[in-house]
A and B are shown apart, each in its own frame.
Chain A
């Protein structure tokens, strides 16, 4: 099986694009395709000061690598969640992120939840109703808060995350099953800035997850292969497995689901819910962390940590 652009052996076949490429042409295609997505959705330009959220995994390190190769001004941030497993998950993930940054002389900011906020995510989750059985909800809330705070404090123009198409489609699938029109309306490649909240963009939103893995492998980027111990058996993982079974039978199904959703959103068929009257005006600064919140008193994040 040969590359569609030269006579070399193909390293990857992408049936949904009817494309098979060798290592060299795949890496070039992947970088070019990322830049194309950035421009297609008006995510940012080369004058922007970008913060990328890195986890030490294949998606975020690949994204940082591609943005760096494309010449964007991009710094990284890693959040050590304090997840201890037999593989020492959080500390090992941090080392992958640090080594990546060091090798390319890039700036990486590390936030350690236990050191900087007094408690690790599993500890906070144990003390809360929200995450008592599984810390994923607490983890998501904490990451969003800490990333937004770092992006605001560092005066970054945009916060980028490495959500890939499989992530987006699994979320879309879950929200569609529940007919959660509010959440459906909020899903997009770019989330515009609101008072107190930085602009967010997802430059990998059109890549299948196996494509980001292939990029990391072919570019020889070391990353943490182990799954977060709390993700095992998660709903999102189940949706991804199901959708991939369908994808094998009907190549392009996932891409089509996502692209058609974006078209429906653009045409007004699915609309983000407008903020309730007075909500924006009622937002105030959290007396503890100073971030904008609509909760009365402390923001949800600070309340959670205080409770714990």
Chain B
């Protein structure tokens, strides 16, 4: 089962062990503009994500 990333009500899936930073990059998202949480725990950008895990991508920029 791949890693599931939830971003703005959408789900994305990536295979294999991958760092937060690399996962964001694969989704074309900048780690300067996004944070990732797993079960409410904030993950640093070098934290590995493993198959089967579900994480949430939190946008860190807003504007108006």
Contact = CB atoms under 8 A, between A and B. Distances in A.
B27 interface: no
Interface of A is mostly: helix
A209 interface: yes
B62 interface: yes
B32 A20 contact: no
Interface in A1-50: 1, 9-13, 20, 23
A213 B44 contact: no
A230 B30 contact: no
Nearest to B20: A13
A231 B62 contact: yes
A237 B61 contact: yes
B60 A213 contact: yes
- Interface magnitude class on chain A: 35 or more
B59 to A, nearest CB: 7
Nearest to B58: A213
A244 B32 CA distance: 6
Interface string B17-50: 0000000000000111111010011111111000
Interface of B: 30-35, 37, 40-47, 58-64
21 contacts: A1-B44, A11-B42, A11-B44, A12-B42, A13-B45, A13-B46, A20-B44, A139-B64, A210-B32, A213-B58, A213-B59, A217-B58, A218-B42, A228-B64, A231-B64, A236-B63, A237-B62, A240-B33, A241-B30, A244-B30, A248-B30
Given A57-B62, A170-B63, A244-B33, 20 more contacts: A9-B44, A10-B44, A11-B41, A11-B42, A12-B42, A210-B33, A210-B35, A214-B60, A217-B40, A220-B40, A225-B58, A225-B59, A227-B62, A228-B64, A234-B63, A237-B61, A237-B64, A244-B32, A248-B30, A248-B32
Interface of A: 1, 9-13, 20, 23, 57, 136, 139, 166-167, 170, 208-210, 213-214, 217-218, 220, 225, 227-228, 230-231, 234, 236-237, 240-241, 244-245, 247-248
